[in-house]
Amino acid sequence: MQKNVLITGAAKRIGAACARRLHREGCHVIVHYKASEREALELCDELNRLRPASASALQADLLDKNQLERLAKAALEIGGGIDVLINNASAFYATPFGEASEAQWDELLGSNLKAPFFLAQALRDSLKARQGCVVNIVDIHAERGLPDFSVYSIAKAGLAAMTRVLAKEMGPEVRVNGVAPGAIIWPEHDLSDPHKQEILQRVALKRSGEPDDIAKAVSFLVRDADYMTGQILTVDGGRTLFY
- The letter for the amino acid at 147 is P
The pLDDT of 195-214, averaged and rounded, is: 82
| pLDDT of 194 | 66
| 128 has pLDDT over 80 | yes
pLDDT, residue 34, reads 98
Q: Which residues are catalytic?
A: 152
Q: Is the pLDDT of residue 190 over 80?
A: no
Is the distance from CB of 177 to CB of 135 less than 8 angstroms? yes
Q: What is the mean pLDDT of the chain?
A: 94
Over residues 7-23, the mean pLDDT reads 98
pLDDT at 1 over 60: no
Q: How confident is the model at residue 187 (pLDDT cuts 50, 70, 90)?
A: low
The answer, yes or no, to whether residue 33 has pLDDT greater than 90, is yes
68-126 confidence digits (pLDDT tens): 999 999 999 998 999 999 999 999 999 999 999 999 999 999 999 999 999 999 999 99
Please give the average per-residue pLDDT across 25-54, as a whole number: 98
| pLDDT band of 207, cuts 50, 70, 90 | confident
**How far apart are the C-alpha atoms of 232 and 160, rounded to whole Å?**
8
pLDDT tens track for 147-162: 999 999 999 999 999 9
* Cα(219)–Cα(225) distance, integer angstroms: 9
Residue 170, pLDDT above cutoff 80:
yes
Report which secondary-structure segment, H or E, holds 54. Answer: none
- pLDDT surpasses 70 at 195: no
pLDDT given for residue 7 in this prediction = 98
- 2 against 44, higher pLDDT: 44
Distance CA 220, CA 44 (A): 23
Q: Give the pLDDT mean for 212-221.
A: 97
Q: 197: exposed, middle or buried (C-beta count within 10 Å: 0-12, 13-18, 19+)?
A: exposed
Q: Calculate mean pLDDT across residues 51-55.
A: 97
Q: With CA atoms as reference, report the closest residue to 41 among 30, 61, 57, 28.
A: 57
pLDDT higher than threshold 80 for residue 201: no
Is domain 4-242 given the CATH code 3.10.330.20 in the classification?
no
Considering only residues 149 and 186, tell me which one the structure prediction assigns the higher pLDDT.
149
